[in-house]
Amino acid sequence: MSLENLLGHRFSNPALLRLALTHRSVSSDDPARKDNERLEFLGDAVLQLVVTTLLYDAYPHLAEGQMAKVRAAVVSKGTLAEVARTLDLGNHIELATSEDATGGREKESILADAVEAVIGAVYLDGGLDLVEKVVVALWAEKVADRARQPGVMDYKTRLQERVARDGWRPVYRVEGSGPDHDRRFSAVVTLNGADYGSGEGRSKKQAEQAAAREALEVLNRDRR
């Protein structure tokens, strides 16, 4: 399936999409080329607006602080990279040869920046109503998941605070497998040299959170 089909928008100005997928390493190698950094800046603002509007309209029970926590979570670099992988952006980004050779297509920061740039391009090509439909289609489920418990601390933070009293520090080992558009990750968390939990997810963050959750369950059982 093409990127435009996955986005649900066919560009009237395809040059905008090409620009959104042009990494700054390309312009570094060839100063005559433009890159996606300006579109990334615009896309970040558009994403913030659409997500904020979605939270305001769909979740009237959430207070300002809760909405801020949900928004911060769903527009984080990890979530942006996760969305990028569902769109298979890694295989569409134009990179300099050197960046490509060092695994640039799988780098979280590059994927996150690219998805923001694509949102900026959709906004310029189709306007606010259109980009709102695209963002809601990609983010609504993530917002809903986070909005259920906006004030609950994530498992990694809870685990870190739980073991700090013992002088321990969680160490995560993460491995990925599968193509960019269907990437899977597995994680193991080690405490004081011993494996305490493992988990899987569509992103490194999800896998680490699952591993931290299992480690907390093990700790709770051990200390009963």
Which CATH number do you get for residue 91? 1.10.1520.10
Domain termination residue (choose one: 147, 175, 210) = 147
Domain termination residue (choose one: 85, 117, 147) = 147
Task: Please check whether residues 24 and 118 belong to one and the same domain.
Answer: yes
Secondary structure percentages of the chain, helix, strand, coil, to 5: 65, 10, 25
Task: Please check whether residues 133 and 164 belong to one and the same domain.
Answer: no
Q: Check residue 203 and give its pLDDT.
A: 82
Task: Please check whether residues 107 and 42 belong to one and the same domain.
Answer: yes
Q: Could you tell me where the DSSP H helices lie in 8-36?
A: 14-20, 24-29
Cα–Cα distance measured from residue 61 to residue 56, given in angstroms and rounded to the nearest whole number = 9
> How big is the chain, counted in residues?
224
Adjacent-strand bridge partners of 184: 177
Task: Please check whether residues 33 and 140 belong to one and the same domain.
Answer: yes
Q: Check residue 200 and give its pLDDT.
A: 92
Q: Out of 35, 40, 44, 180, which one is annotated catalytic?
A: 44
180 classed as catalytic: no
Task: Please check whether residues 167 and 128 belong to one and the same domain.
Answer: no
CATH number, domain of 206, equals 3.30.160.20
Q: Which domain holds residue 215?
A: 155-222
Task: Please check whether residues 37 and 109 belong to one and the same domain.
Answer: yes
The number of C-alpha atoms within 13 Å of 191 and in the hemisphere containing its C-beta is 21
pLDDT, mean of each 10-residue run, the chain (224 residues): 90 97 93 95 97 95 90 89 91 93 90 96 97 96 84 76 87 87 88 93 86 90 64
Q: Out of 35, 82, 99, 116, which one is annotated catalytic?
A: 116
Domain termination residue (choose one: 120, 147, 174) = 147
Q: Check residue 52 and give its pLDDT.
A: 97
Q: Check residue 186 and give its pLDDT.
A: 94
Q: Check residue 33 and give its pLDDT.
A: 93
CA angle 8, 14, 16 (to 5 degrees): 95
How is residue 180 annotated by DSSP? Answer: G
Q: Check residue 162 and give its pLDDT.
A: 86
Q: Check residue 152 and give its pLDDT.
A: 59
Number of domains in the chain: 2
Task: Please check whether residues 105 and 177 belong to one and the same domain.
Answer: no
Task: Please check whether residues 169 and 103 belong to one and the same domain.
Answer: no
Q: In b/e form, how buried is each residue of 127-159, taking b as 16+ CB within 10 angstroms?
A: eeeebbbbbbebbeebbeebbeebeeeebbeeb
